[in-house]
Structure formats: structure tokens, C-alpha cells
Amino acid sequence: MSTQNDNKQPRKPAHTPANKPARGSARTKALIASARQPLDSADSYRDGHLSRTAFVSLVILTFITFVGNFTQLQLSSALPTIVKDFGVSVTTGQWLTSVFQLVMGVMVPLTAYLTRRFTTRQIVVTSMLVFTAGSLLAWLGPSFVVVLFGRILEAIGTGVMWPVLQITVFSIYPLSRRGLAMGTVGMAMSVAPAIGPVIGGWQTDANGWRSIFMSLSVIGLVSVLLAFFGLHNFGRSDCDAKADFFSVSLSVFGFGGLMFGFTNIEAHPFTHPLVWVPIVVGVAGIVWFVVRQIHMSMVYQAWEASHESSSGLRRSQWAPKPALLNLGVLRNRSFTVGTICAALSFFAFSSIMVIIPLYIQNDRGYSATMSGLIMLPGAIGQCIAQFCGGRLLDRFGARPVALVGSSTLLIGTIMMSLIGTDTWIWWVSISQFTRQIGMGLVLMPITTWSLNCLARQEVSAGSAVTNTVRQIAGAIGAPVMVITMETLTRVFHSAGLNTTLANIDGVKWTLRISACFVLAQLLLVMFGVRGQGAGSAREAAQVALGRIRTR
């Protein structure tokens, strides 16, 4: 009887509850092993659609790149509060924003080497671990120097993400779909600068500026988990890839020394060793860096030419290191003009993102949240202008679009230079909106046109050069213009103006100097942007009249 009852009982599975985690662990290992297998375009894009695996990976990469862009400008509204808490000068405090751009400018040229040497997952997971460590350090840092070091780690962690995302999009999508894909991803990236200052200002007012880094620490940890479990590799890595890390050191000492020397001008005369020594070291480092890149490019190109084999034979084991930046693309006049235009735009524009929040909060007494809201329409305007600028470029060419953009940027800068003690605060928002509409109509058309002027095999090198120059121009522009503002403020204060009036006059005249850089850019576009793909006002008018007649 008991035997019969025993036989009627259902059999237990061979595994015990203790074995269930092992099965889950096996699934996790299988998932990670699958993610490590590189995907090619055939696996990623089928029948006109992304595969689910590629879609998830692209979403993760876009989110992480979004976080980097978001982090770059999130402190702009909190900067006045941080300056007061640590008792440092504005010139020193702005290093929290300018050093981010400088480090990103150094990291961009490294991307070509990193994507050859390491897998997508290795790059992204390591980058997010560094970013998270930097956020934790800035959150808990007891001094300004520690917080600054945390920002440097954040910039190192996010500096390679935008180039990695670009390379991934190009490896996934066919040629006919890349423009749409980059436009969609670019729109997502443009949202980050729009909401970064607003959320940063709100967090500063509600819970203090350290809450910004606390939230970034959590976001960084989530990004690590997403990348580790959901991101797939794209392309294959080459363990024999080489990079010239000495050039990286030269760029750090060169541009870092230049910024450090300019920053110390506020506290010391130009004859002080803390001013002229870093500037001399910086200039020497930059000159050495440029000469080294030119020499290495020539050596590498000669080696490639001598080892090129149409039969596909293996090259010799020894090979010279490729240049970190192939500056040979600057021999192309049109590309050089476009790069200078972009650099002037970033130089003039970056300082405004530091100076205007100081005016809104310190001189007008508004909160950090309000500062972010005042700057918000401009970021949205730039997002829209970048999207429309691409379509206008295709129709009319780069020259008419860039002329309109440069003129708009100049008008907006002049409008903003009219601020005073009782200026309607939304006039600042309207002026910034005008400026960023102009920026959106300048940067994308000019950059696209300049890259289109290069040979196909030079586009990658050209992209690295123009992105690096833009980031470094923005990083140097902020301290130079802030020092100008503070110097002018002291002059006006010594002339008898009170502190507030002296500050406002310093801001106004700094904006007028910024307008001079924009005017130089307008003249460069007017006389330098010519040739195939540039278009002209006459051609644009003919196209517009043709459309009207066909209606």
C-alpha cells in the first residue's frame, strides 16, 4: 500500500533548489559569452531593420554617450555655488567645466587606437568604471582639487564614447541608411546639453551640488551593468595595434600647461614663474606635438606604400606607429578653413556657458534652477537648428547656410552684450536662443562640407583632427574669456564702480570681445568657404525661385 502511494507521488526533478542558482549562473555565462562574439553588418541589419541584439546594443551605447554629454554641461548652473563653497576664484572654478573639454579633446585621437586594440565591451565597461570612480570621488571629495580630479576621471570615461558610437553606427547600417541613423542619434545627443544645466541647477537648489555627483555615481553603476550584460561587440580587435602614447603626454603637457599658465594670470603678474613657465612649457609641448605628428605621418605613409602588395601577402612584422593625429589633412585648404571656423565658434561659445550663469546668479540674484531654465530654450534651439541645417546643406550648400548661421550668432552675441542691472531676464534667454540657433546652422554644415572636401580614406583622420581642435578651442576659450572678464571687472571697480556694476560691465565687454571672434568667423566663411559643395547665395536663390515656379 505504502509502495503504491509512494509510486503515485510525482517524481522530484533531478536538481535540487540549491541547483537553481547554478542554472541561472549558466544562463548568465552563456549570455556574456554570446555578447562577446562580434556582430557584423549582416547579423545587425536584416531586411531593412535592426536585429533585436543590435538594437539593444545601440540603445545602450546611445544612453551612455548621452550621459557623457549630459555630464559635461550639468555643472554650468552649479558653478557659482561650488566657487563659494570652496572659496576659490571663478577662474579656478571654471576648470571643472573646461578640464572636461580638454580631457575629451585628448581622448578623441586615442579612439582610433582603442577601437582597433580592444573590443567594444572592453572599452565601454572600462570607461564606465572609470566614470563611476570619478563621480564617487567628486561626490565625496573634501577639497576642490579632489573634486577636479574626479571630473578628470569622468571626462576620461566618457571621452571615447561619441567616437565609439559613430563607429558602431557605421559598422551596423548600410551606406544608404547611415545619414538617417546619425541624424537620429545626433538628435538624442543634442537633448543632453538642453536638460543638463536645468537638472543640475534644480539638484543644486534642492540638495546641494554634491547631489549631482551622487546621481551620476548611480547612473554610472547602472551603465556598467547594462554594458556588461546587454552590450555586444562590433568588429574585431587587433592585439598588435600600436599607439604613440608619448604624443598623448605631449598633448597633455602642451594644452594643460597653456591653460594652467593662463589661469594663474589672475593671481600673479605675467613675470611670475607660475605664469610664464607653464605657458612656455605648453607652447613647447604643442610645437613638439605638431612636429612629431607630421614626421610620424610621413614615416607611416612611406612604410605603407613600400609594403603595399596587390597579391595580399603578409606585411613584415615590424611596423612604425601611426601618428596620433594625421595632420596631413590640413594641407587641404577647404578642410583647414572649416576647422578654423569650428574652432572660432567653440572658442567664443564656450565662455558664454560659464559667464552667463555667473551674471544670472551672482549679479541678478536668481537661483541655479532659474539659471538652467533661462539657458534651456537656447539648447533646444540648437538641437532644432542642427537637424534643419543638414537638410538646408543638401539643398543650398554650406556657404549660404553658414553665412546665415554666423550672422545669427553675431546678432545674438551683440544682443546679449546689451545686458545691465535691470535688463528683462528673459532677454538673456532670447539672446542665447538666437546665438545657439546660429551655432546649429554653422557647425554641422561647415564640418560636413570640410570633411566632404577630403578623400574618402582621409575622412577618419579629418574627423579626429576637427573634433580634437574644437574640444581644445572650447577648453581654452573658457579660461581666457573668464580671465578677460575678471581683469575688466577689476579695472571698472578701481575706476569707482561698485562690485555689481563692475561685474556687469566686465561681462558686457567680454561679450563684445567674443563678438569680435564671431565676426572673424563670419568673414572667414564669407571669403573662405568656396568650391565644390559650398554653394552660393545666387545658387540658393535660383533653387528657391525654381521651386516657387513649379508650384
Give the model confidence (pLDDT) of 395-407 as tens digits.
777 888 889 999 9
| Distance, CA of 189 to CA of 183 (rounded, Å) | 10
Instruction: Classify domain 50-233 by CATH architecture.
Output: Up-down Bundle (1.20)
Check if the beta carbon of residue 135 is closer than 8 Å to that of residue 154. yes
> Taking the CB of residue 136, how many other CB atoms lie within 10 A of it?
18
Check if the beta carbon of residue 68 is closer than 8 Å to that of residue 362. no
| Distance, CA of 230 to CA of 35 (rounded, Å) | 7
Low-confidence residues of the chain, pLDDT below 50? 1-19, 21, 310-316
Same topology, domains 50-233 and 326-550? Answer is yes
> What pLDDT is recorded for position 225?
92
Whole-model pTM above 0.85? no
* Grid cell in block for residue 61: 551605447
| Distance, CA of 89 to CA of 361 (rounded, Å) | 15
- What does DSSP say about strands 49-50 and 45-46: parallel, antiparallel, or unpaired? antiparallel
Check if the beta carbon of residue 169 is closer than 8 Å to that of residue 180. no
* Grid cell in block for residue 462: 579629418
| Distance, CA of 406 to CA of 408 (rounded, Å) | 5
> What pLDDT is recorded for position 177?
61
| Distance, CA of 139 to CA of 393 (rounded, Å) | 44
CATH annotation of 326-550: 1.20.1250.20
> What pLDDT is recorded for position 45?
63
> What pLDDT is recorded for position 415?
92
> What pLDDT is recorded for position 368?
76
* Grid cell in block for residue 276: 610664464
Burial class (CB in 10 A: 0-12, 13-18, 19+), 21: exposed
Spell out the domain ranges in the chain: 50-233, 243-305, 326-550
49 forms beta bridges with: 46
Check if the beta carbon of residue 202 is closer than 8 Å to that of residue 372. yes
